[in-house]
Chains A and B, each alone.
Chain A
Amino acid sequence: LAKTTQPISMDSYEGQEVNITCSHNNIATNDYITWYQQFPSQGPRFIIQGYKTKVTNEVASLFIPADRKSSTLSLPRVSLSDTAVYYCLVGRYNQGGKLIFGQGTELSVKP
C-alpha cells in the first residue's frame, strides 16, 4: 500500500483558497486517490476521488500531475466551517482494498 505524506497542520483565513498537497511516491498503477474530511466529534466524510489530471465537484478540486506521485486538494474560498482534518488516502478500494488513514492535515480557518 502506498504511503502518504501530508502537512500536519495549515492555517488560512476566510475567503482564501487553500491547497493541501499529499505526497505518495509509491503509488501503484491501479491506485486511486481519495480525500476525506473530518469535523470534530464527527466521522470522516468523503470529499473527492480521482485517478489522474483534474477532478472537480461542488466541494473541492483535486489536481493530480502526470506522474501521480502527489496530489493537491484545493478548497476555494474557505469559510470558518471548513476547519477540519483532511485525510489523503491512496489505494485500490474499488478492487476490494481498504481505507488506510494517516494522521491527516488539520486545517484551521480564521476570520
Chain B
Amino acid sequence: EAGVAQSPRYKIIEKRQSVAFWCNPISGHATLYWYQQILGQGPKLLIQFQNNGVVDDSQLPKDRFSAERLKGVDSTLKIQPAKLEDSAVYLCASSPDRGSYEQYFGPGTRLTVT
C-alpha cells in the first residue's frame, strides 16, 4: 500500500515569510499527526486530528502555526510568519485509529528559515 506522502521535501524561506506543508495519509487512516523534529532531538507532536476534528493541539504555537484537515483526508500545516527557530523537519504520520501505538510516518519536509 502507498505510504504517507508529504510535499515539498525541502523548503528554504526567509524569516517573517509564510510557508505551507501538505500531507496525504495512508488511505483509510482516521488519525493524522503533525510532528516537528529539530536537529538532534526526537519528534514533538504539534497537532493530532481524528477524521477532520482536532484531538490535541496543546503544543502547537497557535500564534503562528495553523493546521487543517478538510474532509478528513489530506492536511495542511502552515506557518505565518516564520521564525529562525522554526527550522526543523516537519513530519506527518497517520494511524488507523486514535491512540494507536503504530503510527506510519512520511519522509518529512525539511524547513530552513534564514
User: Taking beta carbons and an 8 Å cutoff, which residues of A are in contact with B?
Assistant: 32, 34, 41-46, 49, 87, 91-104
| A43 engages B93 (CB within 8 Å) | yes
Q: Of A49, A97, A101, which one neighbours B102 at CB under 8 angstroms?
A: A49
Q: A46-B101, A93-B101, A94-B100 given as contacts; is B45 within 8 A of A41 (CB)? A: no
The reply to whether A87 and B42 contact each other, CB–CB distance below 8 Å, is: yes
Which residues from B are CB-within-8-Å of A34? Answer: 101
- List 14 other contacts, CB 8 Å, given A46-B104, A49-B101, A101-B42: A34-B101, A42-B105, A43-B108, A45-B105, A46-B101, A49-B102, A92-B99, A94-B99, A96-B99, A97-B99, A99-B43, A99-B101, A100-B45, A103-B42
The number of chain B residues with a CB under 8 A from chain A is 22
Bound complex: CA of A14 vs CA of B103, how far in Å? Answer: 29
Closest CB pairs A-B (n = 8): A43-B105, A101-B42, A96-B99, A93-B101, A46-B102, A34-B101, A93-B99, A43-B91
Is the CB–CB distance between B45 and A99 below 8 Å? yes
CB pair A93 B45 closer than 8 Å: no
Please state if A98 and B102 are interface contacts (CB–CB under 8 Å): no
Are A101 and B101 within 8 A (Cβ)?
no
Residue of A nearest to B58 (CB): A98
Q: Chain B 82-96 against A: per-residue CB contact (8 Å), 1 yes, 0 no?
A: 000000000101000
A34 to B99, CA, bound (A): 13
By the criterion CB–CB under 8 Å, are A98 and B48 in contact? yes
Query: How far is it, in angstroms, between the C-alpha of A91 and the C-alpha of B101 when the chains are bound?
Result: 9
Q: Which B31-62 residues sit within 8 Å CB-CB of chain A?
A: 40-45, 48, 56
Chain A nearest Cβ from B100, distance in angstroms: 6
The reply to whether the CB of B98 lies closer than 8 angstroms to some CB of chain A is yes
Given contacts A43-B91, A94-B99, A96-B99, contact A103 B41 (CB under 8 A): yes
- Shortest Cβ gap from B57 to chain A (Å): 11
Q: Which residues of A contact B105 (CB under 8 A)?
A: 42-45
A46 to B40, CA, bound (A): 19
Q: How far does the alpha carbon of A22 sit from the alpha carbon of B105 in the complex, in Å? A: 23
Most buried by A among B43, B93, B100: B43
